[in-house]
């Protein structure tokens, strides 16, 4: 049995290399297996509370595929280990806690076919980007700054604050804005993401499609008739073991040979209708993937559709197995392979919960090993930056969107145009109403118009969104700042406002949608606003404000002719947001259906005196409260003046803070100027008719490639 510690020696040099280059401009390259293994090991080392690396051999006692001639990235036993990285914020969601069990889960498979080589790099780079942003956003690891800088705690806070500023600047250099960094941090800290870059580790290491002589994407027990003809590969068993231990709702399986985002059905019994009971959601999600991934020089955005139509039907494919294995049970059988000493038949017995994922097939590129146009890490999250896009870059975005869409969320942005500095802060506990400290704003007493701004994510259509508020003492105990309550638990203490509807930023054409009452702002996404009267609250009162939203109810609609007929939507993703009765528990994980999703509450603290006439963010972790009562105007991220106690008793500390503020304000100005200067160029490019740009350069090499797809 090989241990990670013994493998890690190999990863050393590569790991060092990537760490020093973590935040510098680079063109993506398709990484060899040695480098992928090395980088995974360094992620495990560098983000101990966010990422855990293991192998299928270590965790599931699976054999190694290959011989003593194999494995350039591992030489401690014959054959190759199958690495998987689990991204999970274990401080915010400790193992065994209620929130940990309810984390929505996402699975990313880099390559079932070892010679289709964009996926492994794309999913590894996705993990790197997520983790670096989340780690950065977590600094400083304080819910609020310590009162006194001249203490050990104060010194630690100062150090972490400086590190936080430094890594933010590194991310700015790559074009990642404050809002984008916070978004990435949210994805890390509100989901569990299992990343398997080299699913077919042996095939990837040998640059061969199969694992040995078996095709892993015909090796799953869905629509196969011979029990000896499934779970023959370690790649297939690795995926199987992971699905048995999780409740994945979203999954991507990367391949290459054409350029397609494909969804169910991809199986012979469902020819020629091809449509699944979850078609409405799959259509919208796949087209969202295609838009956010985008196109580039000579390459169009991904075509989307069913695998039956766009690729072809297969027997034993991973895609339909992961979607339907728990409910289309007539097509599932127990495997009895003979390879590697056999495989316990019980491992292919599935409960009703395990296999209900949206597991989309991403055919990344016509070339299985594209030599150029891989894209760069500059402006990676700006989907319309034409020049920097490429095969790896666009699939990083696509993977991020899968992680985004696994679950709806609502996020309060700020009050009366003053933004909250933080959204979801990783590596900080979230229960026990710690949010009263970590998300709080002070507002003047007697204020009749307190305008709350919020946004909605994790879906496309906001069917219903509103604000509800009450004094904290009237909020039911169960609402601890982390828990998503059921409607019956919310009680009667809340006041609310008229509900609104509208799009999220993922909805096609939201920029031109003016159908709702809410205004649009330049936050890069639709913002919702509501004005409440807080004049009746007394100084010192603490008001809990929740934003709540209902999303994508249209996903429960079904098209004509879907099969199997008379089935309601069967996926977790659709039911988790449309069906109150949906509840699944498996392997210690829980999916509870709900319609209404609640933000982390914002606490409004009514100021003691009418002299405190400005809204301020009390939860700004970067600003230390003053020793006396005086206040000093301070610039926020967006250059808006707020009032914040920022007096520092130590001269040295004061100098450091002033320098940091000047540097960050200057940097924001530079980045802002640069973004403003860039925008016309992007718009001009986007304004060109697609056909004008692409028609001469786009080629689709059908004959050769299609034979080996899927």
Name beta bridge partners: 418.
415
DSSP symbol at 626: P
Smaller CB separation from Zn ion, 255 or 315: 255
* Closer of 116 and 328 to Zn ion (Cβ): 116
| Stretch of 21-29, 109-117, 378-386, 481-489 lying at the interface with Zn ion (CB under 5 A) | 109-117
- Give min distance, CB of 215 to Zn ion, in A: 9
In this complex, which beta carbon is closest to Zn ion, that of residue 139 or of residue 322?
Answer: 322
**Helix, strand, coil in percent for the chain, rounding step 5:** 35, 20, 45
- DSSP class of residue 268 equals G
Min. distance of Cβ 267 from Zn ion in angstroms? 16
**Three-class SS of residue 685?**
helix
Q: Which of 44, 88, 93, 113 binds Zn ion (CB under 5 A)?
A: 113
Which of 113, 246 has the CB closer to Zn ion? 113
First to last CA, the chain: 33
CB 115 within 8 A of CB 203: yes
Report the residue number, 116 or 219, with the smaller CB distance to Zn ion: 116
User: What is the C-alpha to C-alpha distance for residues 323 and 321, in angstroms, rounded to an integer?
Assistant: 5
Q: Taking a C-beta distance cutoff of 8 angstroms, is the pair 183, 676 a contact?
A: no
d(CA 332, CA 399): 28
Residue nearest to Zn ion (CB): 255
Tell me how far, at minimum, the Cβ of 106 lies from Zn ion, in Å. Answer: 20
- Pick one of 206, 237, 255, 368: the residue that binds Zn ion (CB under 5 A): 255
With beta carbons less than 8 A apart as the criterion, state whether 117 and 363 touch. Answer: no
633 three-state secondary structure: strand
Q: Say how many residues touch Zn ion, by CB under 5 A.
A: 3
Give kind and range of the element (H or E) at residue 513. Answer: none
Q: Please choose, out of 119-127, 252-260, 267-275, 495-503, the segment that lies near Zn ion by the rule CB under 5 A.
A: 252-260
Site string for Zn ion, 200-219 (x = CB under 5 A): --------------------
In the complex, minimum distance from the CB of residue 709 to Zn ion, in angstroms, rounded to a whole number: 6
* Rounded least distance, CB 112 to Zn ion, Å: 6
Q: Of 108-116, 174-182, 399-407, 611-619, which segment contacts Zn ion by CB under 5 A?
A: 108-116
Q: In angstroms, give the least distance from the CB of 416 to Zn ion.
A: 53
Give me the DSSP letters along 649-682: SSHHHHHHHHHHHHHHHHHHHHHHHHHHHHHHHH
Whole-number minimum distance, CB 298 to Zn ion, in Å? 22
Within 252-383, residue ranges assigned H as helices are 279-293, 307-310, 318-324
Q: Select the span of 8-16, 250-258, 279-287, 514-522 touching Zn ion (CB under 5 A).
A: 250-258
Asked whether the beta carbons of 58 and 1 are under 8 A apart, the reply is yes
Stretches 111-119, 306-314, 523-531, 691-699: which one binds Zn ion (CB under 5 A)? 111-119
Residues in CB range of 547: below 8 A, 6 or more apart: 410, 411, 412, 452, 454, 456, 465, 466, 467, 528, 598, 599
Min dist CB 255 to Zn ion, Å, is: 3
Nearer to Zn ion, 307 or 468 (CB): 307
Q: What is the DSSP string of 151-189?
A: SHHHHHHHHHHHHHHHHHHHHHHTT--HHHHHHHHHHHH
Closest CB to Zn ion among 178 and 210?
A: 210
Shortest Å distance, C-beta 110 to Zn ion: 11
Q: By the 8 A CB rule, do 201 and 65 touch?
A: yes
Q: Which is nearer to Zn ion, 312 or 529 (CB)?
A: 312
- CB nearer to Zn ion: give 33 or 180: 33
Beta strands 105-109 and 500-503: pairing type? unpaired
Nearer to Zn ion, 146 or 262 (CB): 262
Least Å distance, CB 311 to Zn ion, is 9
Binding-site ranges for Zn ion (CB under 5 A): 113, 116, 255
């Amino acid at each position: 049995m090989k241990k990670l510690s013994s493998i890690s020696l190999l990863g050393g040099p590569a790991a060092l290399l990537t760490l020093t280059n973590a935040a510098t401009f680079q063109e993506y390259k398709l990484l060899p297996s040695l480098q992928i293994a090395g980088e995974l090991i360094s992620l495990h080392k560098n983000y101990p509370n966010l990422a855990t690396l293991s192998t299928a051999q270590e965790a599931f006692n699976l054999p190694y595929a290959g011989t003593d001639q194999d494995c350039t990235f591992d030489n401690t036993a014959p054959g190759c280990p199958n690495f998987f990285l689990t991204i999970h914020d274990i401080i915010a969601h400790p193992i065994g806690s209620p929130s940990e069990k309810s984390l929505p889960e996402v699975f990313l498979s880099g390559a079932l076919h070892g010679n289709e080589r964009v996926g492994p790099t794309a999913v590894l780079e996705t993990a790197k980007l997520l983790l670096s942003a989340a780690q950065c956003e977590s600094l400083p690891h304080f819910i609020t700054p310590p009162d006194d800088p001249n203490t050990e705690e104060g010194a630690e806070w100062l150090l972490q604050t400086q590190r936080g500023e430094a890594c933010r600047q590194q991310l700015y250099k790559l074009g990642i804005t404050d809002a984008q960094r916070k978004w990435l941090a949210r994805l890390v800290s509100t989901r569990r993401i299992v990343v398997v870059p080299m699913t077919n580790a042996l095939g990837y290491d040998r640059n061969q499609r199969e694992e040995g002589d078996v095709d892993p994407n015909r090796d799953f027990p869905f629509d196969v008739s011979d029990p000896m003809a499934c779970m023959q590969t370690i790649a297939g068993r690795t995926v199987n073991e992971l699905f048995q231990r999780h409740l994945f709702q979203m999954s991507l399986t990367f391949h290459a040979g054409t350029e397609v985002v494909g969804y169910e059905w991809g199986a012979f019994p469902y020819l020629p209708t091809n449509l699944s009971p979850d078609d409405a959601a799959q259509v919208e999600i796949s087209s969202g993937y295609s838009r956010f991934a985008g196109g580039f020089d000579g390459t169009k955005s991904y075509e989307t559709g069913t695998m039956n139509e766009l690729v072809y039907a297969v027997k034993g494919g991973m895609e339909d197995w992961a979607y339907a294995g728990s409910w289309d049970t007539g097509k599932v059988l127990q495997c009895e392979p003979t390879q590697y000493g056999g495989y316990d038949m019980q491992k292919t017995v599935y409960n009703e919960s395990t296999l209900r994922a949206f597991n989309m097939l991403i055919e990344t590129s016509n070339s299985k090993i594209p030599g150029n146009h891989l894209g760069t890490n500059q402006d990676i999250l700006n989907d319309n930056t034409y020049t920097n896009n490429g095969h790896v870059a666009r699939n990083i975005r696509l993977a991020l969107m899968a992680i985004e869409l696994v679950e709806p969320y609502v996020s309060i942005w700020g009050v009366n145009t003053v933004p909250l500095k933080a959204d979801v802060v990783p590596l900080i506990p979230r229960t026990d109403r710690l949010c009263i400290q970590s998300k709080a704003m002070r507002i003047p007493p007697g204020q009749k118009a307190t305008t709350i701004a919020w946004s909605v994510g994790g879906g496309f259509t906001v069917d219903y969104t509103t604000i509800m508020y009450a004094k904290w003492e009237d909020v039911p105990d169960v609402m601890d700042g982390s828990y998503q309550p059921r409607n019956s638990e919310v009680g009667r203490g809340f006041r609310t406002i008229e509900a609104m509807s509208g799009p999220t930023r993922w909805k096609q054409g939201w920029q031109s949608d003016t159908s709702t009452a809410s205004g649009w702002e330049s936050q890069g996404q639709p913002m919702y606003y509501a004005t409440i009267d807080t004049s009746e609250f007394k100084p010192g009162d603490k008001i809990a404000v929740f934003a709540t939203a209902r999303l994508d109810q249209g996903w429960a609609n079904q098209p004509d002719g879907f099969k199997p007929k008379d089935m309601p939507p069967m996926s977790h993703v659709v039911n988790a947001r449309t069906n109150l009765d949906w509840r699944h528990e498996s392997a210690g994980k829980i999916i509870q259906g709900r319609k209404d999703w609640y933000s982390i509450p914002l606490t409004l603290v009514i100021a003691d005196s009418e002299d405190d006439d400005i809204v301020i963010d009390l939860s700004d972790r970067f600003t230390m409260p003053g020793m006396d009562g005086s206040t000093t105007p301070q610039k926020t991220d967006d250059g808006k003046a707020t009032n914040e106690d920022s007096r520092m008793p130590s001269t040295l500390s004061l100098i450091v803070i002033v320098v940091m503020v000047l540097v960050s304000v200057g940097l924001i100005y530079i980045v802002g100027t640069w973004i403003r200067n860039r925008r016309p160029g992007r718009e001009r490019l986007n304004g060109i008719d697609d056909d004008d740009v692409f028609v001469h350069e786009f080629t689709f090499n059908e004959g050769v490639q299609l034979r080996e797809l899927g």
